[in-house]
Amino acid sequence: MQVVVIGAGPAGLMCAEVLSAAGLNVAVYDRMPSPARKFLMAGRGGLNLTHSEPFERFVSRYGKAAARLRTSLEAFTPADLRAWADGMGAETFVGSSGRVFPKAMKASPLLRAWLKRLESQGVTLHQRHDWLGWDEGQLLFQQDGKLLRIRADATMLALGGASWPRLGGDGGWKAILEGCGVPVKPFQPSNVGFTVAWSAVFTGRHAGTPLKTIALTFGGKTVRGEVMLTRGGVEGGAIYALSAALRDAIARDGHADLSLDLRPDLTQGQVISKLGRASPKDSLSNRLRKALGLTPAAIALMHETDAADVKAVTVRLTAVQGLDRAISSAGGIALDAVTDSFELKALPGVYAIGEMLDWEAPTGGYLLQACFSTAVTAVRALSQSREP
């Protein structure tokens, strides 16, 4: 049986590994000159593979898609992913935030070991092959200006979403699948920064400065973390955790008012008490600095937004940054267009996995975990369907 995997990111490579280990002939095709470019980019931030939090809470991070992804996450759990990485020689550890990283804090050693394993299992990797769809039942690729037709008994599509297109995933497959009757929802940026109309003075002094250990509230949800002040707005982990709700509000209302608590560990009464003990001779900025320990950037933010309360600083977000700046994307193949094993209902024998599917999750290991888990679910189903 010949299985073709299209896409050499983590989902595609995991497909190839499990399928080849089961004795199937596997070839991987990718449009880029080298594999797993986005995976390597993630490694620059330490390669957050998964998260160690309790499983029920972990599943909830997938929002509307949680129920649909549960079976896959149970089939290949965060513990399974850690065991796999450890077995690859990339011993993992749990950071203070509960996130899981390889001790090397980068992706390249793990990827090298992975590619070596795939080669030993007989997987062939074909780079610079741009998938164009099907022609007379065969997969059609373009490579160096030449058209190639490849036969496949089954096909695994692992082409990614539409974020960071320069790394290979530009969502160009959307038109191909829609032409075959597969419903694909429009792509939207996820885990992304937002635009704020800062003054020139504020930008000049504080762009590139983080606001640490603060709390953000929007739509009834509060998260703690860090926000980076940028020349065009805000970004960072705490922003990403709320990005879906913020994005939807901007699409609906034209803006989103985000509330920041600059001292979440203090009650309102404690803030008032500390400020009340400050010298009345000091300026407001000095009282905020001395009594509450606010940084210059946090104090400037209060002035910039005319905030009177450190626990309720309102920042108006006016636009979402684009897919080229997003860590991931929302949208993609509608989940009701695939079976429980992620086989496309309109195209029997063709499976779609990873970020091609319409789900989104915050950063923190949830993105990579779902890519691995959906891959394992699909290939196990394929293997079982071909057993005598």
Residue 354 contacts by C-beta under 8 Å, 6 or more apart in sequence? 7, 9, 10, 11, 12, 158, 160, 370, 371, 374, 375
Q: In the prediction, which pLDDT does 387 show?
A: 60
**Tell me: the pLDDT tens digits for 250-276?**
999 999 999 999 999 999 999 999 999
Q: In the prediction, which pLDDT does 43 show?
A: 85
**Tell me: the pLDDT tens digits for 200-218?**
999 999 999 999 999 999 9
Q: In the prediction, which pLDDT does 64 show?
A: 93
On the question of pLDDT at 364 being above 60, the answer is: yes
Domain edges within the chain: 2-189+329-385, 194-320
- 281: pLDDT confidence band, cut at 50, 70 and 90? confident
CATH of span 2-189+329-385:
3.50.50.60
On the question of pLDDT at 386 being above 70, the answer is: no
On the question of pLDDT at 109 being above 70, the answer is: yes
Provide mean pLDDT across the span 233-249: 96
Instruction: Kindly list the distances between the CA atom of residue 350 and the CA atoms of 144, 153, 347, 382, in Å, as whole numbers in the listed order.
Output: 26, 9, 6, 10
**Arithmetic mean of pLDDT over the chain:** 96
On the question of pLDDT at 104 being above 60, the answer is: yes
Q: In the prediction, which pLDDT does 385 show?
A: 75
On the question of pLDDT at 388 being above 60, the answer is: no
**Rounded distance between C-alpha atoms, residue 217 and residue 239, angstroms:** 10
Q: In the prediction, which pLDDT does 383 show?
A: 86
- 91: pLDDT confidence band, cut at 50, 70 and 90? very high
